[in-house]
Structure 1
Amino acid sequence: MLRTTALFAALAAMPAQAQELVVYTYDSFTADWGAGPQVEALFEAECGCDLTFVGTGDGAAMVARLQLEGAGTDADVVLGLDTNLIQAARETGLFAPAPTDLAVPALPIEWQDDTFVPFDWSYFAFVYETYALDTVPTSFEELAQSDISILIQDPRSSTPGLGLLMWIDALYGDDADQIWSDLADNIVTVTPGWSEAYGLFLEGEAEMVLSYTTSPAYHLIAEEDDGKATAAFEEGHYMQVEVAAALADSDQPDLAAQFLTFLTSAQLQSVLPTTQWMYPAYEAEVPTGFDTLQSPEIALLQSPEVAAERRDAALAIWQDALSQ
């Protein structure tokens, strides 16, 4: 009897196992230098839970994984899709409505979506070393007519790659085949994701890389290097708004809703400029250095529905042009 009493006392003294929230996201978010470690520490301090990030490649690969796993997915939340992927994600039927009491986004566009919650944004752009180019192109046509070497990402697996695809589609539509054909000899390689392409650029493998207008802020603030800039295209730059959403079959619905609310908080949003190197999607402090960045005069963005409708045709044009 004494042994039984002692056993029950010992069990009662053991701490309860923390609830786990599983978040699918892209690989660079989970890297040591990404936002993931800070987001994890901040949210776990708030929720008393165990936040587990699972890297899935890039955003487009994340949708493919969800389509494969279906309702049996281990994910409670996905983080890192964007407006070009929202419709494909929505069509899986896997997502739950977002909390109704979220803060109002502070975006250049009006945001209306009851499922997908924006958490950061920027514009796609080509980054270059200021000392390396005598003439900086001001349009896709000028870039295609130059001998400037570029690195891009695969639109089938990468959200920046898909962003470039839809950027050119938004400007040229069904006539995009000529631009892609002209760009083909500028392209050094097509990488699966952003990290690989940017790493090759930093190693000097090409003169330009597809990234964001906010990317030079990293070099300026973290490295005190003001030698990176983005080419300003007079025809406009395509926006990326990154989003998160909760899975309908999550066994942690309350925790998932808490995490989405946390993403919109000033505490979290203030972390993103110097970890994601993107603009916060809600009112938050932006560090000195962001005021030096290019601000496109023309913002381009197709709705999720139009992007989904145009994607296959745009991808076919891209594949045909680059295979010749």
Structure 2
Amino acid sequence: MKHLVFTAGCLTAATSAMAQDSDQTPELTVYTYDSFVAEWGPGPQIEQAFEATCTCDLNLVGVEDGAALLARVRLEGENTDADIVLGLDTNLVAAAKETGLFAQHGMTPDLDLPITWDDPVFLPYDWGYFAFVHDKDMDAPSNFKALADSDTSIVIQDPRSSTPGLGLLMWVKTAYGDDAPAIWEGLSDNIVTVTKGWTEAYGLFLEGEADMVLSYTTSPAYHLIAEEDATKTAAAFDEGHYMQVEVAGKLASTDQPELADQFLAFMLTQDFQSVIPTTNWMYPAVELDDGLPDGFETLVQPEKSLLLSAEEAAAKRDAALDEWLNALSR
């Protein structure tokens, strides 16, 4: 009888200890965009891999598209639940820093990017080129002027909520400068609709609602690798293609600073980066041990790469947005 009582006591104590440990399991909250946390996105695999190393709960919170992330964190301020924001890009970095909400990462990363990266606050996790994706059997325009002069229908994303949408503004502005308003005026009747985010836009394209959709040169790799469908490609534009570098940053207000640093370091490991090409369908920010997946060698390679610095993008953003709004309101 004493043995049974002792065993029950031990079980009770053990259960209590387990409950206490569970209560103390640290949680790291990462704000990111919806497609990242989707079942088919990188989020589920990355969550499992990181939790296996951190003894923590990784809470991935989807917040529409990339540009909406900054708006939400700015609204929440120091009271935000986020420890990490993952999904901004170089067009938003300067505005993000101006909030004063982000802390320096203190890392010297070994990156594999087409550009030099020395930002002390934000770390890249992938990159790619914006492009218009279409069916291969289509005679696609080869530049913005040809697109504007054609009957080709397109779906794009809103630059106020979407990083691809903002990237398109910077693409046109960088390629055409003061002539950008004329380009937008010409494109206005090609635009079927403007969606809040990438997922909605790409879905409309796949449903046949438009001839082309604003996406990435890497998007056809999804169809080729995941669906064994070689019918999609990206239009190569004479003006060149605007580059996107996606980044993550740590909130200064985080109550899990060491765990946040651990996640940022993990972000640049093979366990994270090897997931990116076939879930986020972008180029990884570090060189992969096994190289890029088969199929990536078939993708369009821009002959000219366009990219504004974070400061230049911030300086031109409002004017570019006004030009876009004016053209579409006519």
State the TM-score, normalized to the length of structure 1: 0.96
CA deviation after TM superposition for structure 1 residue 103, in Å? 3.0
1:237 is aligned to 241
Take 1:174 and 1:277, find their aligned partners in 2: how far apart are those partners?
A: 33
Q: Structure 2: which amino acid aligns with 1:87? A: A
CA deviation after TM superposition for structure 1 residue 267, in Å? 1.9
Q: Which runs of 5+ in 1 are unaligned?
A: none
The one of 173, 192, 201 aligned to 1:188: 192
Q: Which runs of 5+ in 2 are unaligned?
A: none
Q: Structure 2: which amino acid aligns with 1:79? A: L
1:267 is aligned to 271
Structure 2 matches for 1:149-164, cutoff 5 A?
149-164=153-168
State the TM-score, normalized to the length of structure 2: 0.94
Take 1:127 and 1:137, find their aligned partners in 2: how far apart are those partners?
A: 11
2:28 is aligned to 21
Contact 1:97 1:246 in 2 (8 A): yes
Alignment of 1:202 onto 2:206: yes
Alignment of 1:98 onto 2:105: yes
The one of 124, 130, 134 aligned to 1:128: 134
Give me the CA root mean square deviation: 1.4
Q: What secondary structure, in the 3-state scheme, does the structure 1 residue paired with 2:103 have?
A: coil
Take 1:63 and 1:116, find their aligned partners in 2: how far apart are those partners?
A: 13
Take 2:43 and 2:136, find their aligned partners in 1: how far apart are those partners?
A: 31
Distance 1:52 1:183, change over 3 A: same
Structure 2 matches for 1:1-324, cutoff 5 A?
10-14=15-19, 16-17=21-22, 18-100=25-107, 102-131=108-137, 133=138, 135-284=139-288, 285-324=291-330
CA deviation after TM superposition for structure 1 residue 104, in Å? 1.4
Contact 1:170 1:300 in 2 (8 A): yes
Distance 1:163 1:11, change over 3 A: same
CA deviation after TM superposition for structure 1 residue 12, in Å? 2.9
Distance 1:279 1:14, change over 3 A: same
Could you list the structure 1 runs, at least 4 aligned residues long, displaced by more than 6 angstroms after superposition. none
CA deviation after TM superposition for structure 1 residue 275, in Å? 0.4
- How many residue pairs get aligned? The number is 319
* Percent of aligned positions that are identical: 62
CA deviation after TM superposition for structure 1 residue 268, in Å? 1.2
Contact 1:103 1:282 in 2 (8 A): no
Distance 1:183 1:251, change over 3 A: same
Q: Structure 2: which amino acid aligns with 1:182? A: G
Q: Structure 1: which amino acid aligns with 2:111? A: P
- Kindly provide the CA deviation profile for residues 89-139 of structure 1, in whole angstroms up to 9, marking residues without a partner as x: 111101111132x431100111110110000000000000112x2x22111
- Kindly provide the CA deviation profile for residues 175-233 of structure 1, in whole angstroms up to 9, marking residues without a partner as x: 21100000001000000000000000000000000000000000000001000001001
Distance 1:262 1:142, change over 3 A: same
Take 1:58 and 1:280, find their aligned partners in 2: how far apart are those partners?
A: 20
